[in-house]
Structures are given as C-alpha cells and as structure tokens.
C-alpha cells in the first residue's frame, strides 16, 4: 500500500507538470505581446484586459507550483492524503483561471483584427468549451468512488523521494523557461528602448532573478552526476530539496517584476501597474512561502 501511495503522489505531480506546460505558453505570450508593434494601438479596455489576464496566468502558475513546495516544506518529501487533496484542489482552481485567461487573450487578439463582436463570440465560446471539457464532462462521466484504504503514514523510500524531487524541479522549470527566452528577446525590440529607464532596470533585475532560478533548479542534476556519482543519498536529497525551495523566491520575484514592466506599457500611469504587480507578488508569497511555512509550524507544534 505504501508503494501505491507514493505512485499516487508521483502521478499528481506529473499531471501538474502537464498543466503548467500549457500555462507557460500564455505567460510567455503576455510578456512578449507588450513589446509588439501593435500593442500601442489597442484600446484602453483591451490593454486592461491584457494586464488582468497576465495576472490571472501568474496566479494560475502559482497554484500549480504550490503543491510541490508544500511537498518539500510541509511533508518533507513523503506521501500524504493532505498533499493529494491540496494538489487536486489547487489544480482545479488553476484550470478555472487558465480557462478565463484563455478566453480573455483570444478576445483581445481577435478584436484587434476582426472586431469586438467576433472576439466576444470566439473568446466566450472557447472559454465555455474549456470549462465544459475540463469540468462538466469529467463530472458527468465520473464513476462512483470505490472504497479505498486511507493513505497510511510511512517512511517514503529514499529513491522514491529523490524521483519526486526531480519531478518537482521539472514542475518549476517551465515557469522560469516561459519568461527567460522572452526576457532576452524583448530587450532587442524597439519598444523596449522606449521604456522609462526605471522600467528597463526593473526588467534587468527580473531577468537576473529568472536566471538565478534556472541555475538553482538545474543544480541538483549537476550535483547528482558530479558530486555524488549518480548515487541516491540523504545528503543529496537534502541539498536538492533546499535548492528547489530556494529557487521559488527569485522565480516569484521575476514573474512579479516583469508583470509590472508589461503593465507599465498598458497603463498611462505607474500606480495601477504597481498595485497589480504587488497583488500578484503577495499571492505568490503566500502560496509558495507563508502557507507552507505556517503548515509546517503547525505540524511541528
């Protein structure tokens, strides 16, 4: 039964990884879109919707990554019924946000070329389709649950914990990859040259944060090959876990700062951009830091 529990956790992490691969496409689009030539021609409403969708997708990625950090900080790499429930709950919320962001992005882009009526029809249509296929149809086809034994508290084998740790690194890396390539590319655009000097500096800081996150997330593989000769040890597991947890901070900061830079392109004043970025940054801080640490403290007491 313990092996089955570990497999259920591994499956949940793999499914989260699949979802985040879709979310990274829209996150990268949002940063890139703000520096396209036609962005300045968008009406104020479309720009506002664009910023809202960017924030929505950032929070969706925050929800998808949060279970991995709870697995590291709260469960210490062990399987638990609580972790499975959290992963399912957060994934469900992320899918709602993903569908909403998808509908908004389609509406904004289609409206630019084909008008608001067509855009509204396409955006709402595909948003409704996403919700139907992701929620409605699965619930209709859902079979009555069989009685399954509750997950037991047990010591997850070291090899399994390391495998799950590597999987969690692969969950976080797409979030960084989604921004890194676009961050480099936008610096070569004419629109980037038109930014205020302060916004340019913020973008460079965000770029450095994402680079740091990527380096930290790739480090466990290097240590495993070079320092530990591919051997699974408790020392490697602790080191890898710390590197993955440490990568979450610069990743959250990089996403927040680039959201601010993109929002300054959409709004005429900096205050709405600042407030939007601070709100998303606070959500990521709670999901990736405060909540896991509070849960860990409660469990230790």
Q: What is the pLDDT of residues 185-233, one digit of tens each?
A: 899 888 898 888 999 999 999 999 999 999 999 998 888 888 888 888 8
Q: Which helix (H) or strand (E) holds 158?
A: helix 158-186
Q: Looking at the 3D structure of the chain, how many domains does it have?
A: 1
**Spatial distance between the Cα atoms of 22 and 105, rounded to a whole number of angstroms:** 14
Give the confidence band of 177 by pLDDT, cuts at 50, 70, 90. Answer: confident
CA atoms within 13 A on the CB side of 276: 27
Minimal CA–CA distance to 53: which of 213, 263, 261? 263
Give the confidence band of 1 by pLDDT, cuts at 50, 70, 90. Answer: very low
Does 171 have pLDDT greater than 90?
no
Which pLDDT tens digit goes with each residue over 19-50?
A: 887 787 778 888 888 998 889 889 999 999 99
For residue 136, the enclosing domain spans 2-300
Does 158 have pLDDT greater than 50?
yes
pLDDT for residue 29? 82
Report how far apart, in Å, the C-alpha atoms of 236 and of each of 9, 63, 137, 164 are.
21, 27, 43, 13
| Average pLDDT over the chain, rounded to an integer | 86
**Residue for token digits 């590197």?**
243
Contact between 119 and 110 under an 8 Å Cβ cutoff? The reply is yes
Residue 140 or 246, more confident: 246
pLDDT for residue 103? 94
């Amino acid at each position: 039964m313990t092996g089955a529990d570990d497999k259920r956790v591994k499956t949940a992490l793999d499914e989260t990884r699949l979802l985040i691969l879709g979310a990274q496409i829209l996150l990268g689009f949002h940063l890139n879109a703000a520096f396209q030539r036609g962005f300045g021609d968008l009406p104020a409403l479309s720009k506002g919707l664009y910023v809202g969708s960017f924030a929505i997708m950032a929070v969706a990625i925050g929800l998808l990554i949060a279970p991995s950090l709870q697995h590291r900080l709260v469960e210490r790499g062990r399987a638990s019924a609580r972790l499975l429930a959290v992963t399912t709950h957060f994934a469900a919320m992320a899918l709602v946000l993903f569908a909403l962001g998808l509908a908004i992005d389609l509406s904004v882009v289609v409206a630019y070329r084909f008008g608001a009526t067509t855009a509204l029809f396409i955006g709402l249509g595909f948003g409704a389709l996403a919700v139907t296929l992701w929620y409605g149809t699965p619930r209709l086809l859902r079979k009555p649950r069989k009685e399954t034994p509750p997950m037991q508290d047990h010591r997850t084998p070291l090899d399994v914990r390391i495998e799950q740790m590597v999987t969690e690194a692969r969950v976080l890396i797409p979030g960084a990859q989604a921004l890194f390539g676009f961050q480099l590319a936008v610096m070569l655009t004419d629109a980037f040259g038109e930014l205020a000097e302060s916004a340019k500096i913020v973008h460079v800081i965000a770029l450095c944060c994402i680079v740091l996150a990527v380096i930290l997330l790739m480090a466990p593989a290097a240590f495993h090959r070079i320092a530990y000769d591919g051997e699974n040890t408790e020392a490697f597991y602790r080191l890898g876990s710390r590197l993955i947890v440490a990568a979450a901070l610069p990743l959250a900061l990089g996403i927040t700062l680039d959201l601010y830079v993109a929002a300054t392109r959409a709004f005429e004043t900096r205050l709405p951009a600042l407030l939007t970025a601070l709100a998303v940054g606070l959500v990521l801080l709670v999901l990736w830091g405060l909540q896991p640490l509070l849960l860990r403290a409660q469990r230790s007491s």
